[in-house]
């Protein structure tokens, strides 16, 4: 019963977000058609954005390795990166479960217990959602006063939920209950890896937002985007995409919310251009990171 309520709550929240996005598009569609979308390209900020994103990927991979160690499992760094990047491509399949399922299978082939890989991925996913909500609220509370003050209460509510959620994930009975609901089971990891995972995710949201700001400097002829708003808007839109089970890779939901959050500050045309550019950049970095491992010939599984 609690699992059904949790799933129902996610669907309701995702539908509300989608309705907000659709309404925003309907209200602004004629304005978008009336104004041209201007592009430019400056390679240095774009390269900086790619470097920042890849550094955040590396930090999250290390967080996953440490979470595995909380269950007494170990995995070499190269194998961890291969599994993390390749399995992450499963997010583009509707349902949001394929990435975790492929991670469990690939980790098992590398000598890690499948249940540990699954449980660690679930906890990190939960940490990503709650820390993203908190970062969005902290970064966006001030920035959105000039962007769209109407959604400030939603940001504060999301921030409060994020703080509570992170607190619960530091509590072993809550973690054990979460894993029982998802079928992962096998108790809970040590508190150290959970703390590191929370910190890594929080830093990653800030890094991803800064990369969005760098991207704005690269593709927009003139950008007035504030770094704090870039961080808040990216975190909020990405978390919305994670929650939307029906949207592969958060497609449309993420872009729609990003446009809605940025248009009051930088304009509808630039916000649309930046949302499209952000999707392209993230797809390139995700595929670019996974392809070398897909092409790599593997020998026997190695266990650290």
Highest mean pLDDT among 143-152, 215-224, 233-242, 260-269: 215-224
Q: What are the tens digits of pLDDT across the range 283-298? A: 889 888 988 888 875 5
Rounded Cα distance, 23 and 179, in Å: 36
Does any domain span residue 38?
A: no
Does any domain span residue 140?
A: yes
* Alpha-carbon dihedral 201, 204, 205, 210, rounded to 10 degrees: 170
Per the CB < 8 A criterion, the answer to whether 129 and 243 are in contact is yes
User: What pTM did the predictor assign?
Assistant: 0.78
Does any domain span residue 28?
A: no
Per the CB < 8 A criterion, the answer to whether 218 and 42 are in contact is yes
Does any domain span residue 197?
A: yes
Does any domain span residue 304?
A: no
Rounded Cα distance, 274 and 26, in Å: 19
Does any domain span residue 26?
A: no
Per the CB < 8 A criterion, the answer to whether 120 and 156 are in contact is no
Q: What are the tens digits of pLDDT across the range 191-223? A: 788 889 889 999 999 999 999 999 999 999 888
Does any domain span residue 176?
A: yes
- Identify the domain containing residue 167 by its residue range: 2-20+44-295
More confident residue, 263 or 144: 263
Taking 80 as the threshold, does the pLDDT of residue 158 lie above it? no
Where do runs of H (alpha helix) occur along the chain? Answer: 2-34, 43-69, 77-88, 98-109, 114-143, 152-169, 172-182, 191-219, 227-243, 253-266, 268-295
Sign of CA dihedral 153, 155, 159, 161: positive
Rounded Cα distance, 168 and 146, in Å: 33
Q: What are the tens digits of pLDDT across the range 5-52? A: 545 554 554 555 555 545 555 554 454 445 566 778 899 999 999 999
Q: Look at residue 183 and give its three-state secondary structure.
A: coil
Taking 70 as the threshold, does the pLDDT of residue 267 lie above it? yes
Q: What are the tens digits of pLDDT across the range 39-93? A: 788 999 999 999 999 999 999 999 999 988 888 888 888 999 999 998 888 777 6
- Per the structure, how many domains does the chain have? 1
pLDDT tier for residue 126 given thresholds of 50, 70 and 90: confident
Does any domain span residue 88?
A: yes
Please give the structure tokens belonging to residue 251: 């497609």
């Amino acid at each position: 019963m609690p699992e059904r309520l949790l799933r129902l709550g996610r669907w309701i929240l995702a539908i509300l977000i989608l309705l907000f996005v659709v309404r925003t598009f309907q209200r602004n569609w004629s304005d978008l058609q009336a104004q041209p979308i201007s592009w430019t390209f400056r390679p240095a900020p774009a390269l900086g954005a790619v470097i920042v994103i890849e550094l955040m990927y590396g930090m999250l991979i290390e967080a996953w390795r440490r979470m595995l160690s909380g269950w007494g499992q170990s995995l070499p760094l190269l194998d961890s990166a291969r599994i993390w990047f390749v399995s992450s491509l499963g997010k583009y399949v509707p349902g949001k479960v394929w990435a975790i399922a492929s991670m469990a299978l690939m980790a098992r082939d590398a000598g890690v217990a499948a249940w540990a890989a699954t449980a660690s991925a679930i906890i990190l996913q939960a940490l990503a959602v709650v820390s993203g909500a908190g970062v969005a609220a902290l970064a966006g509370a001030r920035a959105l006063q000039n962007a769209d003050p109407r959604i400030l209460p939603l940001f504060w509510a999301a921030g409060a939920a994020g703080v509570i959620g992170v607190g619960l994930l530091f509590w072993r009975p809550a973690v054990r209950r979460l894993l029982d609901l998802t079928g992962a089971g096998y108790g809970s990891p040590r508190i150290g890896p959970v703390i590191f995972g929370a910190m890594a995710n929080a830093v990653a949201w800030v890094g991803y937002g800064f990369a969005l700001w760098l991207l704005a400097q690269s593709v927009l002829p003139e950008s007035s985007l504030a770094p704090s708003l870039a961080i808040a808007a990216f975190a909020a839109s990405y978390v919305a995409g994670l929650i939307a089970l029906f949207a592969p890779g958060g497609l449309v939901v993420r872009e729609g919310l990003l446009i809605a959050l940025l248009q009051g500050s930088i304009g509808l045309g630039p916000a649309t251009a930046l949302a499209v550019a952000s999707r392209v950049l993230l797809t390139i970095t995700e595929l670019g990171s996974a392809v070398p491992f897909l092409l790599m010939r593997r020998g026997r599984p190695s266990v650290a």
